[in-house]
Chain A
Amino acid sequence: MIQLHQVRKSYRNQQQLLPILDIPHWHVAQGDRIALLGPSGSGKSTLLYLLCGVLAPDEGTCKVGNEPLHQMTELERDHFRAKHVGIIFQDFHLISSLSAKQNIELVYDGSLHGRARHSHIQQWFERVGLQDRMNHLPGQLSRGQQQRVAIIRALINRPSLLLADEPTGSLDYDTAQYTMNLLLQLAQEEGSTLLTVTHDQHLASQYPKQLHISAINRLAVHPYPAEKSSMNSRRLMEGAAT
């Protein structure tokens, strides 16, 4: 599903080039559900940006579902993202002027129309227990409910890759637990590959696989725990977290 090879990414800070990511090789199978851990500045988010095509790597190859992101133009990456990637944010980012249902319709790929579309969207709201909140504006929903709507938005088009950036970071413990379980369950049911960035090791432990990205000066991705990762890195064990 995901194949990274010799991927390097740096940021320019004034005149200085600041290396942020150096991944010799990384492979993720379709349907894998991976928690991505690591300290701030370790490049977790940059990895997500690369995988969703918002950023292009400086070097190396980056393929998602056999689509060569590193060779695509920005517009092609936009199309790729619309078709193959679902994204969940810490702050949900629902459009406040649109109802919960309209937020879903905004991304709907148009495969169904009219009643069939409505019925399909309704089924999704039922799956996350929000069938009676479809016409509510985001401001009328609790934070947990907003995140469930955001999960529907990310999954409605059955993306092959689901990226979640601290999806429970702004939720209370119980809601976070519920939301994370829901996310894992739905991703499995839909067969999407799930990659979740989190700082919460407890929640990460519920994932079949956890991956630790080392501190920035290590410039490498490491498995966490090592035996659960499918990663292959030249400097695999260098500074690996336990």
Chain B
Amino acid sequence: MSVFQLLWRNMMHRRTLSLLTIVSIAITIALLLVLLQVRAGIEHGAEKGYGPFELTLGSKGSSTQLVLNTYYRVGTPAQNIPQQVLHDVLKESEVAHAYAMTAGDSYQGYPIVGMDAAYFYTRYGDQTMKAGGMYTKTGEAVIGSHVASQLGLRVGDTFHGNHGLVNGGSHSFDNSPKENSEVTPNDQHEEAHSEQQAEAVGSEHHNESDEPNHDHEHFEYRIVGILPTLGTADDRAVFTTLDYAWHVHGITNVEDKMITAILVQPKSLLGAQAIKNKFNQRADVQAVYTSKAVADVVNVVDRGTELVQFVSLLCVLLAAITLLLSLTSVVTERKKDVGLMRLIGKSRLYVWTILIGEGMFLTGIGAMLGLFLGHLATSFSASSILEWSGVHVDALRIAPGEIQLVLGALIVGFLASIGPAWKVYRVDPLQLFRS
């Protein structure tokens, strides 16, 4: 009889306790794996999230808010800046590409972003649209792949936007409608909107916002294309021409045309520094290094995950204790069996190996099951995580640290097995005669 067969029979003989031990280990591993996956998603998103746009220009205020909203569609947009700033940026010789962005409206909770179509070519190269083509005129829109799959939209469908990032009946990226109401592509609209708050007019195209929607009702978007899955926050946004906000709100004066942010790809780092310095001197604009703002956010997230990691460590400790208890009861139960094995000629090392093997086997099965459950849970929740946080989690990807997680589990399993195995090692075979 092989050692493996013996291990298996031993475990099956105590299947309930073995199963509980395995489940305890599996849940711990799954929990840790989901954390690793989310963390990898955050870091991957942080790396990939802003493409080549090393500089971001927007209104004075929080640089984090500016970057998070511009690239990750998280939180409320910053205050607007004059469109003239874009013209000034484009005059800079060190600018390779610069795109203005307008934001503030949404459809079914997904932000509507006004952006020059060339942005996609600069950021993603010439990827093929999943369906249809790129927008070319006002009123045309392309939607991210996640938006398309979640809302079941297709090329040719039409819809009306909603003011702010709130969508009645579905969740919002910002829980404060009042705050959202303050975020508009232009100040004029903000005022108009405030006056109309009591109207509570819903969109005929499934928009049931509490927000007044008077202007938006008259502006219809037609979907002309669906973006491929890009693995960024752009998957959950609706894109249209930069001027949509002006049309929606009837702004015709050039001086009144405002934009939310400018995404700048500098030609060089030195150039970036020069542009940053220059525009930071202006009273109405701030220029920030995108990477620095993202790094600040990741650091904050890291600090937040420390608490979660602490709880996870407690789970690891509990799983190790479960394993220890299980194996300790094995030793108590099987002292005679161990004595017998010693008497029939099995060495101390053999019986030690059997118990360590059982601990490792339980840990190994628990770890494998945990990996499976972790990936499965990530797979099922990826869409919700994306919706909720804008973090892309790839369930099929092996997360950084996943192999270390399994090795760590095996080491903890080994350490938890050592004590009981030592007791087995010291079992006196003569006890069988004495009994």
Query: Do the two chains belong together in a single complex?
Result: yes
B interface SS class: helix
Q: State whether B1 touches A81 (Cβ < 8 A).
A: no
A interface SS class: helix
A82 to B430, CA, bound (A): 16
Q: State whether B433 touches A81 (Cβ < 8 A).
A: no
CB within 8 A of B337: which of A48, A85, A95?
A: A95
A123 to B229, CA, bound (A): 67
Give chain A nearest CB distance to B394 CB in angstroms.
43
Could you say which of B89-97, B175-183, B338-346 contacts chain A? B338-346
CB < 8 Å A-B pair total: 66
Chain A 44-63: CB-based contact to B (< 8 A → 1; otherwise 0): 01001100101100000000
Chain B 357-387: CB-based contact to A (< 8 A → 1; otherwise 0): 0000000000000000000000000000000
> Is B301 an interface residue, CB under 8 A from the partner?
no
Q: List, in ascending order, chain A residues with CB within 8 A of B5's CB.
A: 102
Q: State whether A78 touches B9 (Cβ < 8 A).
A: no
A184 to B10, CA, bound (A): 33
> Is A93 an interface residue, CB under 8 A from the partner?
yes
Chain B 414-435: CB-based contact to A (< 8 A → 1; otherwise 0): 0000000000000001101111
Q: State whether A89 touches B432 (Cβ < 8 A).
A: yes
> Is A79 an interface residue, CB under 8 A from the partner?
yes
> Is A22 an interface residue, CB under 8 A from the partner?
no
Give chain A nearest CB distance to B98 CB in angstroms.
73
Q: State whether A93 touches B432 (Cβ < 8 A).
A: yes
Measured CB to CB, the nearest residue on chain A to B13 is: A97
Q: List, in ascending order, chain B residues with CB within 8 A of A89's CB.
A: 432-433
Q: State whether A91 touches B345 (Cβ < 8 A).
A: no
Chain A 75-107: CB-based contact to B (< 8 A → 1; otherwise 0): 100111111010101010101111000100111
Q: How large is the interface on A (under 10, 10 to 19, 20 to 34, 35 or more residues)?
A: 20 to 34
Q: State whether B12 touches A106 (Cβ < 8 A).
A: no
> Is A165 an interface residue, CB under 8 A from the partner?
yes
> Is A125 an interface residue, CB under 8 A from the partner?
no
CB within 8 A of B347: which of A52, A75, A87, A96?
A: A75
Measured CB to CB, the nearest residue on chain B to A82 is: B345
Give chain B nearest CB distance to A214 CB in angstroms.
20
> Is B313 an interface residue, CB under 8 A from the partner?
no
> Is A124 an interface residue, CB under 8 A from the partner?
no
A105 to B344, CA, bound (A): 12
A97 to B358, CA, bound (A): 14
Q: List, in ascending order, chain A residues with CB within 8 A of B430's CB.
A: 49, 54-55
Per CB-CB distance, the 9 closest pairs between chain A and chain B, nearest first, are: A82-B345, A97-B13, A105-B1, A81-B345, A78-B347, A93-B340, A95-B337, A107-B344, A106-B1
B interface vs A, CB < 8 Å? 1, 5-6, 9-10, 12-14, 336-337, 339-348, 429-430, 432-435
